[in-house]
A = this chain, B = another copy of it.
């Protein structure tokens, strides 16, 4: 055998082992159900990932609802494209951690949750995205027990994606999939500001 042939043979054997492993796992995972996915951690990519799933679901002709609990800016690319194909709500103006207006923020969070709650009670919605919801729980703008109850009592086949830093442990407990995104480095630290098409 030449060196190349040997390398190809080893490669084939390795891939065959991998395929057997993957096939056996696929054979085990055979349930279809709505999943609750939580995307948390301090890294870049949580909301992007949720919007990627929105694009997937829309591409399959599924009914999708999005509620954004923090309004960073009004001119986002995700809303411009995806908002044309699904129901897209952004929580009222001015909600940030520096408004220093707890009553106003709480009222807006409750209005946004009323929309989310309606979606979570309606089997017609096949995917519901609750973007940056975790902050409303961290700051106590929403009642955690009510949020958890609405999530747990949702229709069987409905998928839900929750994003945001520092997700509450009770939320992680009821989640089916928890992805934690951390940054090894970030362009921001090199003086590069948020870029159109990347961060918004």
A residues neighboring B (CB under 8 Å): 7-8, 11-12, 15-16, 18-19, 21-22, 24-26, 28-35, 37, 39, 43-60, 62, 64, 76-82, 85, 96-103, 126-127, 139, 159, 161, 172, 175-198, 200
Residues in B with CB closer than 8 Å to A100 are 11-12, 15-16, 19
Assembly CA distance A29 to B41 (angstroms): 22
Number of copies: 2
In angstroms, Cα B56 to Cα A80, docked, is 8
**Looking at A26, A172, A182, A187, which has the most chain B CB atoms within 10 Å of its CB?**
A187
Expressed in whole angstroms, the Cα–Cα distance for A180 and B42 within the complex equals 10
Given contacts A176-B185, A176-B187, contact A196 B102 (CB under 8 A): no
What's the Cα separation between A31 and B187 when bound, in Å? 10
In the complex, which residue of chain B has the Cβ closest to the Cβ of A38? B184
